């Protein structure tokens, strides 16, 4: 049930967003503007027509449109504008720290240089830190429907820029592309000092979550819904305090769940798991981080303590230093007590 006091708490709490694909923040208005600016043809006549096409029955349905949308991103300025628009929305939702994903292979395979995407995204992140005080980490994802050799080539392209990239992730079509396929490239990323995370258990089975932990040695699991099917795995996640980046509106729109009441967030909290709330691809799934918090809080009737716990988990599970985590958590406790 909607609850104005709870909405006010959600609005004012400082929070971190740990699961956000920057290309998934491309709003239909910007899709049109960039298509016009770059002379790229798109198969839609209006913003309304684009929104109407955002009706998905599964992850692959969405990915087909998501990769199509990326075609309008051509120049460094396009990547800046995209990232800046996201940061303005994040600031309005009281996000103080972001760890965003980008998909270099979605761009290089279209002839857009790795450096073009990286520089535009990074310039906006630096401007957001200077102007809005939002700190950041940048995570490049490997597209799991492509080969491990292609992921290795992408890591090679990142080598001159390792002072600008903080981690690697694994996204795209999950089923049929288990974490084990990327064991060697993740080992190399870890040896290079990069943080590691992976999407697992969104559509794929609990075994994929286990592989991500055991074979890729990830620090976080992105989504993780289906881990709840395996009690031994739940025990492992709880014992090790592994952060799960849950995306409620994404789960609903990709039919991972039938209703928000089925969101795994409450069960995860009850089981002692470190769940966090994130928007994934907000332009496609109908809401940014606070909309995700409100939707899941209403559906699950989350308490004040549970909402504060979710926000606290977002800082605790970030790649910030312990001192920065403690500072943010002190701020959020002060904001919760107002
Ligand atoms: N899952 C997998 N790959 C993705 C997603 C997602 O939710 N969003 C963008 N790439
Ligand atoms: Zn995702």
Contact indicator for 107, 175 with CB cutoff of 8 Å: no
pLDDT the model gives residue 286: 95
Q: Is the confidence at residue 29, as pLDDT, over 80?
A: yes
Query: Which pLDDT band, with edges at 50, 70 and 90, does 338 fall under?
Result: low
DSSP for 267-320 reads HHHHTT-EEEE--BSHHHHT--HHHHHHHHHHHHT--HHHHHHHHHHHHHTSSS
Residues pairing with 223 in the sheet? 200
Give me the domains of the chain, ranges plus CATH numbers: 4-336 (3.20.20.140)
Residue 64 and residue 104: Cα distance in Å, rounded? 16
Q: Residue 23: CB within 6 Å of ligand 1? A: no
The candidate with the shortest Cα–Cα distance to 329, out of 44, 319, 143, 314, is 314
Residue 293 and residue 235: Cα distance in Å, rounded? 26
Q: Residue 202: CB within 6 Å of ligand 1? A: yes
pLDDT, tens digit, for every residue of 163-200? 999 999 999 999 999 999 999 999 999 999 999 999 99
pLDDT the model gives residue 279: 98
Q: Active-site residues: which are they?
A: 202
Q: Residue 294: CB within 6 Å of ligand 1? A: no
The candidate with the shortest Cα–Cα distance to 328, out of 308, 306, 299, 300, is 308
Closest-approaching ligand to the CA atom of 144? 1
Residue 111 and residue 268: Cα distance in Å, rounded? 42
- 202 CA: nearest ligand 1 atom: 1
* Sheet-wide strand order for 135-143: 15-21, 95-102, 135-143, 167-171, 195-200, 220-223, 243-246, 274-277
Closest-approaching ligand to the CA atom of 103? 1
Mean pLDDT (the chain, rounded): 97
CA dihedral defined by 240, 243, 244, 249, rounded to 10 degrees? Answer: 160
């Amino acid at each position: 049930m909607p609850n104005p006091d709870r909405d006010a708490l959600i609005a004012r709490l400082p929070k971190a967003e740990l699961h956000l694909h920057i290309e998934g923040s491309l709003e239909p208005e910007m899709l049109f503007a960039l298509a016009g600016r770059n002379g790229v043809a798109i198969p839609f006549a209006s913003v309304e027509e684009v929104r109407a096409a955002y009706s998905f029955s599964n992850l692959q349905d969405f990915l087909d449109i998501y990769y199509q949308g990326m075609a309008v991103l051509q120049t460094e300025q396009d990547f800046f504008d995209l990232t800046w628009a996201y940061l303005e929305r994040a600031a309005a939702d009281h996000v103080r720290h972001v760890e965003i994903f980008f998909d270099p292979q979605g761009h290089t395979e279209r002839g857009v240089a790795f450096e073009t995407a990286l520089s535009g995204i990074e310039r906006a992140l630096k401007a957001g830190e200077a102007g809005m005080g939002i700190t950041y980490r940048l995570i490049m994802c490997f597209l799991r429907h492509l080969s491990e050799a292609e992921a290795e080539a992408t890591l090679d392209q990142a080598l001159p820029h390792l002072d600008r990239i903080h981690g690697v992730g694994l996204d795209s079509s999950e089923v049929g592309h288990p974490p084990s396929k990327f064991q060697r490239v993740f080992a190399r990323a870890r040896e290079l000092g990069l943080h590691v995370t992976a999407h697992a258990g969104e559509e794929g089975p609990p075994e994929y979550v286990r592989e991500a932990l055991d074979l890729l040695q990830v620090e976080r699991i992105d989504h993780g819904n289906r881990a709840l099917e395996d009690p031994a795995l739940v025990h492992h996640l709880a014992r090790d305090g592994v952060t799960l980046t849950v995306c409620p509106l994404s789960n609903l729109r990709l039919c991972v769940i039938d209703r928000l009441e089925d969101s795994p967030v409450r069960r995860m909290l009850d089981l002692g798991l470190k769940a966090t709330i994130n928007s994934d691809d907000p332009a496609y799934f109908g809401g940014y981080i606070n909309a995700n918090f409100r939707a899941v809080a209403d559906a699950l009737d989350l308490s004040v303590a549970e909402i504060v716990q979710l926000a606290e988990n977002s800082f605790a599970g970030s790649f910030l230093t312990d001192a920065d985590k403690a500072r943010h958590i002190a701020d959020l406790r002060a904001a919760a007590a107002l």
